[in-house]
Amino acid sequence: MNEELERYQVLLTADALKDIDDIYDYIVCKLKAPMTAQKLCGQIRGAILDLQVFPQRYKVMEAFKEESRKFRGMPIGNYLIIYVIIAQTVMVTNILHSTEDINQKLKL
């Protein structure tokens, strides 16, 4: 059985791109750890690309089950990649640190 897995298009919002830049800048400037910043941001980008196949593997976040957009969260270390599935597209909306208030960041 050599079935081709269904692939989704993965897009990042401007907020998600800014979040990655902010994570990188914080680790480089505040923590003075450029190699760590490079490694972590590479892991985040790789995980986002992995959402092309079976993005439903991460469940809808409990706090947002009643919302019209069903936000899902994929954990990567101390970060959470927030995304929604719309038809055949995965839209990554934010990348949040575990200490951030999800409701505030998503403006819900």
Kindly give, in sequence order, each residue whose CB lies less than 8 Å from that of residue 10, ignoring residues fewer than 6 positions away.
Answer: 48, 49, 51, 52, 89, 90, 92
| 1 found inside a domain | no
| The predicted structure's pLDDT at residue 108 | 52
| 2 found inside a domain | no
| The predicted structure's pLDDT at residue 58 | 95
| 99 found inside a domain | yes
Contact yes or no for 85/55 (Cβ under 8 A) = yes
For 82, the domain range is 9-106
| The predicted structure's pLDDT at residue 105 | 74
| The predicted structure's pLDDT at residue 3 | 62
Q: Which residues of the chain have pLDDT under 50?
A: none
Number of domains in the chain: 1
| The predicted structure's pLDDT at residue 65 | 64
Closest CA relative to residue 80, chosen from 52, 49, 101: 101
Closest CA relative to residue 81, chosen from 2, 27, 5, 11: 11
pTM: 0.88
What distance in Å separates the CA atoms of residue 13 and residue 27, rounded to the nearest whole number? 22
| 96 found inside a domain | yes
Handedness of CA 14, 76, 65, 101 (dihedral sign): negative
Contact yes or no for 24/39 (Cβ under 8 A) = no
| CATH classification of the domain holding 76 | 3.30.2310.20
